[in-house]
Amino acid sequence: MAVAGGTLEHEHGAGHHEMSDALYEEIRGHRLLGFTLFLISDCILFSAFIFAYLYLRNTIDHWPPPGIEGPNLLFGALNSVVLFGSGATMHYALESWKHGNTKLFYRWLGLTLFLGLWFLLGQGYEYSDLYYRQHATWAGSIFGASFFTLTGLHGFHVFVGLIYLSVVWLQTRAGVYTRQRFFGLTAATLYWHFVDVIWVFLFFLFYIF
Amino acid sequence: MSILQATIEQTLTLYFGVIVFLTAIVQTKNEWGKHALEDNVTKLLLILMAVGCVEAIGATLGFLGHHGGA
């Protein structure tokens, strides 16, 4: 019996491998627990980098180091709101799916992808400003190393999230999910919220603290 | 950074920040009665998202962060 991704739902829908609701709920519970553990492990990964950053930052008297202004606060705030907004649109996408409004679901999901891409491009703009105008490089300073590593790790998660959401889009188009069985969609929403929330901490650490 | 650019960024951040903050609060309220694992995780993440909006709005209004830089 296949249990990966949305295969179960698809097979259920096609009627090849009929699965009882009780069995599906049991497997769904296992998947959800596994996915939550994955998110917790990702939290630990970010925590390790954040503590390393805080340790390094405490070794320097002036932060950011002389000659580097640091990231642009106003632009960072706008970019943050864009990412948080994408979390809200993703939440609405999931709710639309639950309520059977497919048209609205695709609109919210499309808006989520758009905002996620906007955030990534904004990060690219931020990087170019730091690199070319302020000459902050990965190897040149502790500030550059910590900023590019942590925000780069987060940006990679956003990039993966965009791919994930695109796959979910294609899966829904292909009829993988039903109104009752849509775990992949729930997991994608949780992942996207997680990516948002990690940025809450990074924004505080690099732009506010 | 030009004043015009800063003003545009501040206006957009305030406008969308308030919208997203209210959305996060309302959605948290809607999720409050649900107690499945994904609902609890969603509630936590939505609350933190609202905190993020407060951060962004506070930074834009000058309450938070260092405004002497770029």
Q: Which domains are assigned to chain A? A: 26-208 (1.20.120.80)
pLDDT value at residue B67 = 60
Classify A178 in phi/psi space as left (phi over 0), alpha (psi -120 to 50) or beta.
beta
A205 in contact with chain B, both atoms CB, cutoff 8 A:
no
Classify B52 in phi/psi space as left (phi over 0), alpha (psi -120 to 50) or beta.
alpha
Q: Do B56 and A77 touch (CB under 8 A)?
A: yes
Band the pLDDT of A81: cuts 50, 70, 90. very high
Mean pLDDT of A61-83: 90
Task: Sort out which chain B residues have CB atoms less than 8 A from A74's CB and list them.
Answer: 1, 6, 9-10, 13, 59-60
Q: Do B49 and A196 touch (CB under 8 A)?
A: yes
Task: Sort out which chain A residues have CB atoms less than 8 A from B46's CB and list them.
Answer: 87, 91, 193
pLDDT value at residue A69 = 86
User: Which residue, A94, A76, A72, A95, is CA-closest to A84?
Assistant: A76
- Give B56→chain A minimum CA distance, Å: 5
Q: A24-33, A34-43, A99-108, B52-61: lowest mean pLDDT where? A: A24-33
- Give A198→chain B minimum CA distance, Å: 9
Helix axes A183-203, A73-98, angle to 10 degrees: 160
For the whole model, what pTM was predicted? 0.87
Residue A52 clears pLDDT 90, i.e. is over it: yes
Which is it for the CA torsion A46, A49, A52, A53, positive or negative? negative
pLDDT value at residue A8 = 45
Q: How much is the mean pLDDT over chain A?
A: 89
Alpha helices, H only, A99-141: 102-128
Mean pLDDT of A48-73: 89
